[in-house]
Amino acid sequence: MQTGLEDQLGLYQKRIPIFTRSVKGRFRRFKTSVLVLAYAIYFLLPWLPWSRLDAPAQAVLFDLPGRRFLIFGLTVYPQDVIWLALLLFIAAILLFFVTGLVGRAFCGYFCFQTLWTDFFIWIEHAIQGERPARVRLYRQPWNREKVLKIGSTHALWLLASFWTGLTFVAYFAYAPQLVVAFFTGQAAAAAYITVSILTLSTYAAAGLMREQICTYVCPYGRFQSVMYEAETLAVHYDARRGEAAHGRAAARAGQRTLAERRDKGLGDCVDCGLCVQVCPVGIDIRDGLQYKCISCGLCIDACNTIMDSFSFPRGLIRYDSEKNLAAATPAAPRVQWKRLKTVGYGVALILMTSYLAYSIGTRGSFDRAVNQIRQPLYVVLSNGDIRNRYQIRITNKAGQDQTYVISARGIPANALDLGNFREITVKPGHSGLVQASVRLAPALAAQTQGFELIITPSGKGAEARSESVRFDSPGKRP
Amino acid sequence: MSEQKLQSQTVQTTGHAWDGDLQEYNNPLPVWWVYTFYATVIFSIIYWVIYPSWPIGKDWIGGLSKITYVNSAGETRTHSWNTRALLLKDLNQAAAEQKPYFDKVSSMSYEQIAKDPEMNGFILSAGKALFADNCAPCHQAGGQGVVAFFPNLTDDDWLYGGSFDKIHETLMGGRRGYMPAFSDVLAGEQIDQLANYVAKLSGIGHDATKAAAGDVLFHSETAACYYCHSSDARGRKDIGAPNLTDNIWLWANVPATDAAEGKVAAIRSVIANGLNKGVMPAWAGRLSPEQIKVLTVYVHELGGGQ
């Protein structure tokens, strides 16, 4: 039998709005400085000038039509996709490494969802006031004050979202021109589409959805449990100290000092609820470690403030490990890295980072691809000689025209025929294509398994690169 | 089953109980879920307005989105959005981008094209595509041909000459290779002698006595081979008669076997049966002059030219 409970509950659960109380402390200061630094980099970087010969003077420019990324003095071409792959691998391993040591530090301090939500809450706070004022405003009927305050909050959010989107687009075109073109209706359709999508998604994610992104959309919180270990530091409530024998209790007369509370068997938690009020995801940390916790540390700041005001020792809520909390005599919490998983991630990080740095540091000024023509693998010529052909593609990654000289090693000098292109000049960012053919007498061909083609930028002998290629002839099986 | 046994007083259940104690939570969906549904409905309405949507008899609502392109005749065409128009737009755009290169090709001489690195790159890519579309069915993708059927274009032997002009002539007018069947004219023994002589010319194992007799026969009026293949057996490029003294085989599939008898047998078969299958079609009129010019330089490059 249906009981009609659906009617009481409603088919859909409305979001319970969270009004966070602002708090002062170590973690709040850290979060604010990360926010300021990250915003400074994100919003100002596209405007940083950088003089270039062959491209707009913008320090960081992702030049999609030109198929290249310009990052300060470095030019990245599609051929360098391995760098991007490595960078993503490094980012993933760094995430696992840090999570194993200090929990979801990325979520709490660095994730853009956290940063933008923090900024949007700051706007909300600046206009509507502290938590009690915002709760009151939320509950009061729509009147002039509510319309003005809520309206201006949303307007500012939209403005911040719009500038976020516009800044993103500014990384893909010369920023000063783009911004002028954007407001005069001259910019590319892709710019308008990208900016509107980013404006709407930023507004929705940081203004309207907030913690729901972390709880429902982001998969990271769901798999944090496989990256946490007993030694991992995380934001914990010290339940043994806070609850003691008879649980938490308000600091009424007779149970105000530590000594009085010990006598009554009461814990140190005065049940002020401040840790819940400051939480941006609306949880109670005293329920223990949970998937919704983004590990932002604001409850630590809040609890320390209260502990200080009662002259209780700090750290009722603190960064600690499950193992230490469960120990008979808990030691001072510290980062524990002497574990196989952590050391493994650390070694992988060092190896990949050094390889990436090495690869970028020793990059050549050109790219080359030498392919043997396989249809046919070899040709028998009229006098019986064997000819193999090769296609050489040289991509100039330097900033100016460059001439390349092609030579061979391991075969007689006159065997290599480059037709009209013993030298080829390639424009910056372009590719040059040369067909080389190698002709060997049958006896020599039978002995020759392969040889080396050498490409030398003229005037830069040190940058010469060689490519080993096969030489095929009849009767020789690969 | 009594109420007390039902679990969870904090989370409501639907009130059903199966098999004694199986129950179903009555957790409501989060409201953003239903908002997402509304968003998809709004999206579909916008989609109807922009793209072709409802059929009306034999016609349909075209939608606001239009595709405009300039076709090869220079006319501007506008269609409501559809993938065929999108393809036509892409094709016409690509053709327009290629046009400066083809214009350059028609204004430059063969020698200038071959020495210009940028044009050379264009010839290699455009020529490869043209060759694959038009020539590869016979000459194979890499131009290597098929012994006994289609000439190899990558070697250094040119039946009709390997200069730019000759290759151009071949492409424009096509070619027809013909050799009469000698089994009607000569005895089997004589054909055998000729086959041994031709094997000797290319340095293949042969019967010296038969080859000597074949030499005489080759230059005699009886067989009259020298009319076409010339008295030094090096062939005549003006009529496309092949050089018999080199290591390249077009009709007799000599490379197919390692045994000397097999090689001689392959030659014998060609002399006896002749051939009338060496037909290359004319491309003038099928391809544009610029395309033929591109192919000329491409084929010249394949075998190194002459």
Read off the CATH number of the domain in which B271 is found. Answer: 1.10.760.10
In which domain, by residue range, is B81 found? Answer: 66-118
pLDDT at position A404 over 50 = yes
Cβ contact, residue pair B142, A375, below 8 Å: yes
- Region A350-354: what's the mean pLDDT? 97
pLDDT at A52: 81
Residues B154 and B289 in one domain: yes
Across the 306 residues of chain B, what is the mean pLDDT of every consecutive 10-residue run?
A: 44 84 84 88 95 90 90 88 93 91 92 86 91 94 90 91 93 92 91 94 89 93 91 91 90 85 92 88 93 94 82
Whether B191 maps to a domain, the answer reads yes
Contact A162, A199 (CB under 8 A): yes
Residues B198 and B236 in one domain: yes
Residues B269 and B245 in one domain: yes
Cβ contact, residue pair A380, B247, below 8 Å: yes
CATH superfamily of A366-470: Immunoglobulins (2.60.40.10)
Residues contacting residue A259 through CB under 8 Å, at least 6 positions apart: none
A372 contacts on B by Cβ (under 8 Å): none
- CA gap A43, A34 in Å, rounded: 14
Residues B155 and B91 in one domain: no
pLDDT at position A6 over 60 = no
Q: What DSSP line would sit under A89-156, residue for residue?
A: HHHHHHHHHHHHHHSSHIIIII-HHHHHHHHHHHHHHHHH-SHHHHHHHHHSPS-HHHHHHHHHHHHH
Among A10, A382, A387, whose Cβ lies nearest the Cβ of B28?
Answer: A10
Which residues of chain A does CATH 2.60.40.10 include?
Answer: 366-470
Percentage of chain A lying above the pLDDT 70 cut:
97
pLDDT at A1: 36
Residues B299 and B192 in one domain: yes
Cβ contact, residue pair A380, B248, below 8 Å: yes
Residues B281 and B170 in one domain: yes
A386 contacts on B by Cβ (under 8 Å): none
pLDDT digits (tens, 9 = 90+) for A172-207: 999 999 999 999 999 999 999 999 999 999 999 999
- Please count the residue pairs, one from chain A and one from chain B, whose beta carbons lie less than 8 angstroms apart: 104
Whether B56 maps to a domain, the answer reads no
Residues B289 and B175 in one domain: yes
- Region A316-321: what's the mean pLDDT? 95
CA-closest candidate to residue B265, choices B247, B246, B252, B251 = B252
Cβ contact, residue pair A421, B255, below 8 Å: no
Question: pLDDT-derived band of residue A397, with 50, 70 and 90 as boundaries?
Answer: confident
Full-model pTM: 0.73
B24 contacts on A by Cβ (under 8 Å): none
How remote is the C-alpha of A71 from its chain's centroid?
Answer: 17
pLDDT digits (tens, 9 = 90+) for A104-155: 999 999 999 999 999 999 999 999 999 999 999 999 999 999 999 999 999 9
Residues B76 and B194 in one domain: no
pLDDT at position A5 over 50 = no
Residues B248 and B177 in one domain: yes
Residues B284 and B162 in one domain: yes
Question: pLDDT-derived band of residue A476, with 50, 70 and 90 as boundaries?
Answer: low
pLDDT digits (tens, 9 = 90+) for A242-274: 999 999 999 888 898 999 999 999 999 999 999
pLDDT digits (tens, 9 = 90+) for A270-316: 999 999 999 999 999 999 988 899 999 999 999 999 999 999 999 99
Whether B60 maps to a domain, the answer reads no
Question: pLDDT-derived band of residue A53, with 50, 70 and 90 as boundaries?
Answer: confident
Whether B20 maps to a domain, the answer reads yes
pLDDT at B4: 43
Residues B131 and B74 in one domain: no
Query: Which of B54-92 are b and which e, b meaning 16 or more Cβ less than 10 Å from the residue's Cβ?
Result: eeeeeeeeebeeebebeeeeeeeeebeebeebeebbeee
pLDDT at A105: 92
A374 contacts on B by Cβ (under 8 Å): 142
Residues B248 and B199 in one domain: yes
Q: How many domains does one find in chain B?
A: 3
pLDDT at position A430 over 90 = no
Question: pLDDT-derived band of residue A9, with 50, 70 and 90 as boundaries?
Answer: low
pLDDT at A185: 92
B157–A contact, CB cutoff 8 A: yes
